[in-house]
Amino acid sequence: MACFERASPALREILFKIHRAERPLEIDHHVHEFGSVHYHVQSSASDQPYAYLSISTPLLSRGLPMSSELPEHTLEMVRGICPDVVEIVETPREGYQLTLKINLARIPHSKASTKMITDISSVQAVILSSQLKEILRNVDSYEVSRGLYKPIKLVYHPREPFFVIKQPAKITAVFPMRFKEKEDVIIATAFFQELMDVGSSGACTKAPHCIWSPIPPPELRGEPIQDLSTNCGFVSFDITSRHVEGKKLEKTVWNLLNFYAFVKYHVKSTRGFIQRRMRMRLERLVQPLQTAELEEDQLVKKKAKGCRRVRKWISASKLKILKRKDNFTNKIKRIRSRIKIHGFGRFRRRWLPKFSPVTRPKTVDALARMLECGSYPNITFKPRDRHPTILYRLPNISR
């Protein structure tokens, strides 16, 4: 996106850094702007107090091949920026169209230095607007060739030419508008219609008259078809003598040269604004669905509250799970449950007599005396013991 300021922000910052340094700096900076403007700033401690600024920029042409050298009236305008500080090197450095020698010692260390460095940083705008200025200065002196006003095609970017037509007491600037995407065409068309309505209102009587048309204006008849093939129509501005008086000339020229960049910036900003509003609207529509899903999840969690131990095991770490597993196994081992034999209770009630409370024998002889008395042992197992435990009851019948 092109910078709408006349002065280059990056170039101005570098020049301020060199000027405000307490000691001489070794600087060799390359700055690229707008995709085609190239600055090269050099400053050496051995060549103080001078700094060198080389510039390479596309020139405003009339659609025909032209020399890369700057015209004389452009060089005169560059010399007029700061005559005491800036000097044009006769032979520019290789690969550049212009090289300036800046005497930093003549720039005062006060508020005036800000204006001087800003003017030097706007050298690219001076070069670019010099040719268009020559056309607009002669707004009242028009040339008539066979009764027709021939349009002048000016090209700054290869895909963005525009036309300037000299007419009695005014100059008409016509911009063919082209966009790659259909969405950009819709946004730009709405913008041009609104711009035309606002320009015709009473609040903008001093502004240049703006006209938008989907077809080429009559002044462009006879131009090549490739220059008139657009998908977003044509925008025209009528510039009169009051728009180029004094300091207004600089502003008018700069606005015309940056009209394409301004329209693209507006389209891009509007598209981003629409996308943000669409996302916000989508979030509002989806919010009730997300709230319903959260409520359903909470109901499911409430139903699953009974299995607390299972939830704790799931949320616990692996080490805690292993420890709890060992504790549970030990608890199971401590349980003293007897082994049940189906049908043994009926056999006992029928064939075995009633016994006295349980006592545990200590020797095998005690077991033999028990068998002689007619008592029968009851054999049980404990999970913890390797051998069965023998329990016996003494009979209540006396012989």
Q: What is the pLDDT of residues 341-391, one digit of tens each?
A: 566 666 666 665 555 444 444 445 555 555 555 554 554 444 444 444 444
Q: What is the pLDDT of residues 246-294, one digit of tens each?
A: 888 888 888 888 898 889 999 999 999 999 999 998 888 888 887 887 7
What sign for the dihedral angle of Cα 271, 277, 281, 286?
A: positive
Q: Which two tokens stand for residue 160?
A: 């963005």
Q: What is the pLDDT of residues 72-107, one digit of tens each?
A: 888 888 888 888 889 898 888 888 889 999 988 888
Distance CA(237)–CA(165), nearest Å, equals 10
User: What number of H helices and E strands is found in the chain?
Assistant: 12, 12
Q: What is the pLDDT of residues 168-221, one digit of tens each?
A: 778 889 999 999 899 999 999 999 999 888 887 877 888 888 999 999 998 888
Task: Specify the pLDDT at position 184.
Answer: 92
Q: Following CA atoms 245, 156, 34, 252 in sequence, which dihedral angle do they give, to the nearest 10 degrees?
A: 10
Residues of the chain above pLDDT 90, percent? 13
Whose CA is closest to 103, among 86, 120, 78?
Answer: 86
Task: Specify the pLDDT at position 250.
Answer: 82
- Find tokens 């005014």 and name the residue: 170
Task: Specify the pLDDT at position 153.
Answer: 84
Distance CA(275)–CA(263), nearest Å, equals 18
In this structure, the strands spanning 37-43 and 27-33 are antiparallel
When mean pLDDT is compared across 252-266, 288-302, 304-318, the lowest value belongs to 304-318
Residue-averaged pLDDT of the chain? 76
Task: Specify the pLDDT at position 358.
Answer: 46
What average pLDDT does the segment 236-241 reach?
89
Assess contact for 238 and 209: CB atoms under 8 A.
Answer: yes
Residue 300 phi, psi (nearest 5): -65, -40
**Is residue 235 pLDDT above 90, yes or no?**
yes
- Give the distance from CA 369 to its chain's centroid: 99
**Is residue 151 pLDDT above 80, yes or no?**
yes
